[in-house]
Structure 1
Amino acid sequence: MDIDEWEKRYSMAFSSISEILDNINGVFVAYNSNVDAIKHVSEKDIHKLISIVGAKAVQQKVTEYPREIQDPVDLVARLVIAMRDGKAAEVPTYTADTHKWLMDNMVFDKARMGGQAGIISNLLSNLGVNNVITYVPWLSKEQAEYFVDAPNLKYPVIENGVLRLKHPHDAYDVNQLPKINWIFEFSKGTKVEYDGEIFEVPRDNRLIISSRPPWLRIDMSEQLYDQIPHMNGMIDGAILSGYQMIKEKYEDGTTYHDYVKKAVDVIKRLKEGSPDMRIHVEFTSIQNKVIRRTILKDIVHKHASSLGLDTVEVANALNVLGHEELAYAVISKGENSISALYEGAVKLLCELKLERVHIHSLGFYICVASKDFPLTVEEHRDALMFSSTLAAAQALHGDIGSLEEGGTGLGVPISERGHDDLEQLEKYLVRRDVCTGTEFEDGCVCALNHDLIVIPTKVVQDPVATVGIGDTISAGAFAAILAMIRKKGAEDRGS
């Protein structure tokens, strides 16, 4: 299908999904939100940071590839690595000294809502989803201020043993400290020079320094846990994220096993009385391989319905599941990387017992779904195009204030490079007898044991910001799917 035909399909998909979004009763969103301190890193900025900590020290740390930020040299080294590779990354820091050092040496440009659950909650509220029930265990006054002031956005609290839904502005803990992450955004073409090394940043992207204070727990009070089933009539699905904050060991003697069990118990509780409720887990960069594997095997496996990831996260997931060679092929820059991405998606779908795996890459999305998924491949394609339109609007404006504003993404052109990349995947699939070229033409393929949906995406050449685009993609597609499932259910009952 040529790009002009894809553009027509985009317009129809966005229009059709927009008309049925209010079919959704509601969505539960948890766990992670924080305040993002955003800094766009210039050549002058990176030179200043390197000069403060020392170029030779940075070179040594770059070689060591620190997995967490313990001191300023770790931080600068990981920033250099992210800029060199042009790849998004998230690295934890467990000390407040990191934030203090940054405040002393690097003034941020602006602050905004951060964290997957926080960003997704605001997005769905602004799109007009009826009930967006957001939950973050560490809701401080500062954090609450970054939630949009919308009547459909609600936060669960227990008053006199009864579940109440209030706006986050009226539900925060006055004693709770805020969680602040630093987001370093950098632009293609920025030059970096240190200790005899020189390179230019290959693409726009960002590094997230994720604050992990000791009080940070993916948890829920017993009272709220007991009341979860009371939300079931108000929600059709849940989007869960933030599991990357689980630690192997805690100061009080608890371990990751304790918090993984709690996470699974919440999912089971959500499904009580609604066994068909869709649960989407939004994955992210997880440095600790034990935690990464545990999240996939013990939380996502069998308990989630849907998984959202980017290319690097697919490789990370495959690596800890024992598919090292395929993981390497996914992140390689050769012509086989897109076919490896498809094969990786199929492995995740089958091994984790999921209904769908949605992968977003620059220029295209790949989604594989189980054969018994309640939507047709064409409907699933509409969901992906709806989410791509929202992502383009997010990149254009830095935020989406309404469904109408989300529609401005239709004016962004489809990526020619993404369109060409899909041709490589087509050749691979035809060679493997997965489908014919004609069957691949419209992005909808019914393979032997799964469905495949692929689309070229709309890409903004100079995005206002990159933070939150992946969350917008996954949440937009998942919301579209919930709306279509609700519509089908109503039609079936009517017939």
Structure 2
Amino acid sequence: MLDEVRKLSAYTAYNANVDAIVNLRAEILQNLIDSFGADEIRRRIEEYPREIREPLDFVARLIHALKTGKPMAVPLTNEEMHRWFDETFKYDMERIGGQAGIIANLMAGLKVKKVIAYTPFLPKRLAELFRRGVLYPVVEEGKLKLRPIQEAYREGDPLKVNRIFEFRKGMKFKLGDEVIEVPHSGRFIVSSRFESISRIETRDELRPFLPEIGRQVDGAILSGYQGLRLQYSDGKDANYYLRKAKEDIMALKEADIKVHVEFASIQDRKLRKKVVTNIFPLVDSVGMDEAEIAYILSVLGYRDLADRIFTYNRIEDAILGGMIILDELNFEILQVHTIYYLMYITHRDNPLNEDELAKSLEFGTTLAAARASLGDITKPEEYEVGLKVPFNERSDYVKLRFEEAKRKLRMREYKVVVVPTRLVSNPVSTVGLGDTISTGTFLSYIALLRRH
């Protein structure tokens, strides 16, 4: 399967960012506390700022996260604070973040034939985190050119940095007279949410060349719609950018390629409904987790089923929900990734049989197991590491529950395939595993379709 996948070419857009990682140590914290003062920090913790506008907001929310030991993400809304963070912290590591960025680097690591990645903003600091071999589309003298992405950066483009503060259980520090011991390991994420970087679009000069890009690839993976806003200060809104996004998909599909959308949770219900009803019916394939099935069902009006999925997390409810989403939004195949199983739901007339669909899902979970074991995939042979990872301990239970679901549900019009996941007991990294599964399943799905 790997050899067939590597013969493919793919395009991915739109969201990529810098993930800057700090491994928190007690002395770093103590310096922060001393510079702001314990009383000021306590007062700000009481106020519980919902977003980070100034350094004290950050310190207060960080200490609150450390006291509870719970992972948290808080948006940074003041672009001026980039400099404060960069001057205050030495990053232990910078890596690519954002679904399109992670997917592009994964495909380049697998040495897929041609990887074209597009993000509307490409500052140098971001461009340098892409792997060698990733190409970026530019227009020169009225013609489309594919440049190594490291050379295609633009001075002055806005920068999206998500700063990830990793903390370890047992770390101790003092807040005034109070000694705090961190009860659990976790991470505190400061996610950049500026208006300048929340526009998901293809630049005007490149848009006429999307059909040409489509002719150069076998498939496209699009993501990042969760970054949109309902309103912008210049009078534009989510509808404007979704119209553009639909035009992009139709332009790419002029070449008769498959298009996959990797969905991510959108907290705002109105925005979620807009994205789902505008984008899904235009694409072939959608990837999501079981919580995202529930979120989508709730905006489609299936509240009771959504609540059941959130409460009980049963396979039969996820299958029923998936079948409803497939029918209501009329695309070709739904891929669902959960911790214990992966699932495809497609219509009965899909050219692939159940065995082939299972093969595609197994390729996806093996690829993710290799990434979890190694932290990243830098060369094709590393895929083999995933084959040594056993299927999870709930595999038999998953199969049993799936057989029960088949007896209960009317599935005659569909092909539903469930395979257990390969689960790494001590992963080096869990970042991007959902994106890895979706990339592996989508590319292997295209490769298998080509056999027919």
Which residue among 356, 376, 384 is the counterpart of 2:361?
384
Q: Using the alignment, how far apart are the partners of 1:316 and 1:46 within structure 2? A: 37
Return the offset for 1:44.
9.4
1:394 aligns with 2:377: no
**8 A contact 1:69–1:91 mirrored in 2:** yes
SS of the residue aligned with 1:272?
helix
Give the aligned residue type for 2:297: L
Question: Residue in 2 aligned with 1:263?
Answer: 245
Question: Residue in 2 aligned with 1:245?
Answer: 227
**8 A contact 1:58–1:76 mirrored in 2:** no
Give the aligned residue type for 1:474: S
Q: Deviations over 1:223-260 (max 9, x none)?
A: 21111111232111110011111111112111111101
1:231 aligns with 2:231: no
Structure 1: any 5+ residue segments left out of the alignment? 1-16, 435-446, 489-495
Percent identity reads 35
Q: Using the alignment, how far apart are the partners of 2:166 and 2:394 within structure 1? A: 23
Q: Structure 1 residues 190, 338: closer, same or farther in 2, change over 3 A?
A: farther
Give the aligned residue type for 2:378: G
Q: Deviations over 1:81-101 (max 9, x none)?
A: 9964x7xx7654332366566
Please, which moves more after superposition, 336-345 or 375-384?
336-345
Aligned residues: 442
Question: Residue in 2 aligned with 1:365?
Answer: 342
Question: Residue in 2 aligned with 1:443?
Answer: none
Q: Using the alignment, how far apart are the partners of 1:47 and 1:311 within structure 2? A: 40
Q: Using the alignment, how far apart are the partners of 2:64 and 2:415 within structure 1? A: 38
Question: Residue in 2 aligned with 1:29?
Answer: 12
Question: Residue in 2 aligned with 1:5?
Answer: none
Give the aligned residue type for 2:299: V
Q: Using the alignment, how far apart are the partners of 2:189 and 2:310 within structure 1? A: 20
Q: Using the alignment, how far apart are the partners of 1:91 and 1:183 within structure 2? A: 11
Q: Using the alignment, how far apart are the partners of 2:130 and 2:113 within structure 1? A: 16
Return the offset for 1:58.
4.7
Give the TM-score taking structure 2 as reference length. 0.86
Q: Using the alignment, how far apart are the partners of 1:304 and 1:82 within structure 2? A: 42
Q: Using the alignment, how far apart are the partners of 2:221 and 2:67 within structure 1? A: 31
Pairing 1:297-308 to 2, within 5 Å after superposition: 297-300=277-280, 302-308=281-287
**8 A contact 1:318–1:344 mirrored in 2:** yes
Q: Structure 1 residues 199, 179: closer, same or farther in 2, change over 3 A?
A: closer
Q: Using the alignment, how far apart are the partners of 1:55 and 1:263 within structure 2? A: 45
Which residue among 222, 229, 241 is the counterpart of 2:204?
222
**8 A contact 1:267–1:303 mirrored in 2:** yes
Give the aligned residue type for 1:318: L
Question: Residue in 1 aligned with 2:351?
Answer: 374
Please, which moves more after superposition, 311-320 or 248-257?
311-320
Q: Structure 1 residues 396, 448: closer, same or farther in 2, change over 3 A?
A: same
**8 A contact 1:363–1:419 mirrored in 2:** no
Q: Using the alignment, how far apart are the partners of 1:341 and 1:49 within structure 2? A: 46
Question: Residue in 2 aligned with 1:113?
Answer: 96
Question: Residue in 1 aligned with 2:389?
Answer: 412
Pairing 1:58-207 to 2, within 5 Å after superposition: 58=45, 61=48, 66=50, 71-72=57-58, 75-76=61-62, 79=65, 84=70, 92-96=75-79, 99=82, 107-150=90-133, 153-184=134-165, 201=184
Question: Residue in 2 aligned with 1:281?
Answer: 261
1:18 aligns with 2:2: yes
Give the TM-score taking structure 1 as reference length. 0.79
Q: Using the alignment, how far apart are the partners of 1:269 and 1:393 within structure 2? A: 35
Q: Using the alignment, how far apart are the partners of 1:227 and 1:156 within structure 2? A: 9
Return the offset for 1:200.
5.7
Give the aligned residue type for 2:191: S
Return the offset for 1:426.
2.9
Q: Deviations over 1:4-63 (max 9, x none)?
A: xxxxxxxxxxxxx11312442x111000111101245689999999978756865774xx
Give the aligned residue type for 2:436: T
Return the offset for 1:372.
2.6
1:354 aligns with 2:331: yes
Please, which moves more after superposition, 389-398 or 362-371?
362-371
Q: Structure 1 residues 329, 279: closer, same or farther in 2, change over 3 A?
A: same
1:295 aligns with 2:275: yes
SS of the residue aligned with 2:11?
strand
**8 A contact 1:218–1:245 mirrored in 2:** yes
Give the aligned residue type for 1:241: S
**8 A contact 2:66–2:167 mirrored in 1:** no
